[in-house]
Amino acid sequence: MKHITALTLTALMASTAAPALAQEKGDFLLGLGLGWIEPDDGSNTALPGGKISADGALSPTITLEYFVADRVGIELLASWPFKHDLELGSTQIGETKHLPPTLSLQYHFTNASKITPFVGAGINYTYFFDEELDGPAAPSLDLDDSWGLALHAGVDYAISEKAALRADVRYIDIETDVEVGGVDIGEVKIDPWVFNVAYVMKF
Which pLDDT score is estimated for 47?
60
What is the band of 87 on the pLDDT scale with cuts at 50, 70, 90? Answer: confident
Residues 143-155, mean pLDDT to the nearest whole number: 96
Predicted confidence at residue 19, as pLDDT, reads 60
Mean pLDDT (whole number) for 121-142: 90
The DSSP symbol for 174 reads: -
Pairing of strands 102-108, 82-88: unpaired
DSSP helix, strand, coil percent of the chain (3-state; round to 5)? 5, 65, 30
Contacts of residue 194, defined as CB under 8 A and 6 or more positions apart, other chains included, come to 35, 36, 37, 38, 100, 169, 170, 171, 172
The predicted pLDDT at position 153 comes to: 98
Q: Residue ranges per domain, the chain? A: 2-202
Backbone angles phi, psi at 9, to 5 degrees: -65, -40
Give pLDDT tens digits for 150-171. 999 999 999 998 999 999 999 9
For residues 87-112, give the mean pLDDT: 87
Does an H or E element contain 104, and which?
strand 102-108
- The size of the chain, in residues, is 203
Is CATH 2.60.40.10 correct for 2-202? no
Select from 8, 200, 10 the least CA-distant residue to 114.
200
Tell me if 117 sits within 8 A of 155, measured CB to CB: yes
Note the pTM of the prediction, 2 decimals: 0.81
Confidence of residue 89 (pLDDT cuts 50, 70, 90): confident
Instruction: Give CA–CA dist 203/199, Å, rounded.
Output: 13
Sign of torsion, CA 123 102 153 57? positive
List strands edge to edge, sheet with 42-45: 42-45, 183-189, 175-180, 141-143
pLDDT digits (tens, 9 = 90+) for 10-63: 444 343 444 667 788 999 999 999 999 998 865 556 566 667 778 889 999 999
